[in-house]
A and B are shown apart, each in its own frame.
Chain A
């Protein structure tokens, strides 16, 4: 059972426009949601996150929105740049019994973003 879903395998956007990447989840116990970016031949890198008690978090060109009632989150990139072309993974974490943050993230399958000049 896939708990984190990214239904769009790919997205193509023109440079300067907005990129919107979507993610759905099924488990109400998730307490943090994160976005990671991955370039070919590199490991994923952390991009931005949001706590389940918030509905928006912004960091420069990147904004993540969380809609808990719909169990949906989205990543907005404005304006999109060619260097943003990468695979974006949505991930969620669940607080464990021992408390604190944990290294057990549940990832979606990723969305490949292509930003065309």
Chain B
């Protein structure tokens, strides 16, 4: 069974640009969450989608947005990039009736903003 797949794995952008990251969850998983990992802040929750609906949102500015498609694949977008957006962006999926809190993470997309 394929795991959570994130693309691209690495990317470099400049300030003011925008970026779109993609996530394909494990087959059968309808919930997808996004996290930002930075050395100073650890993993911080961005948002969660379930059946194309945003279920919950973390404390990030409106420049961070996401969506989920009917096949459960998800994208997140960051507009007007800032240097502080440099981070590892992790996507995770979970089973509908799985163990509480058990997330299956992808390997992440490492974004560098210059």
Binding site for B on A (CB under 8 A): 31-32, 34, 41-46, 49, 51, 89, 91, 93, 96, 98, 100-110
Contacts and interface: CB of A to CB of B under 8 A. Distances in A.
Interface of B: 4, 31-33, 35, 41-45, 48, 55-56, 58, 90, 92, 94, 97-108
A1 to B, nearest CB: 11
Dominant SS at the B interface?
A: strand
B106 A103 contact: no
A49 B105 contact: no
Contact of B56 (A100, A104, A110): A104
B60 to A, nearest CB: 13
Nearest to B41: A109
Contacts of B105: 43-45
B46 to A, nearest CB: 10
Nearest to A110: B42
Given A102-B48, A102-B56, A107-B44, A43 B101 contact: no
B33 A108 contact: no
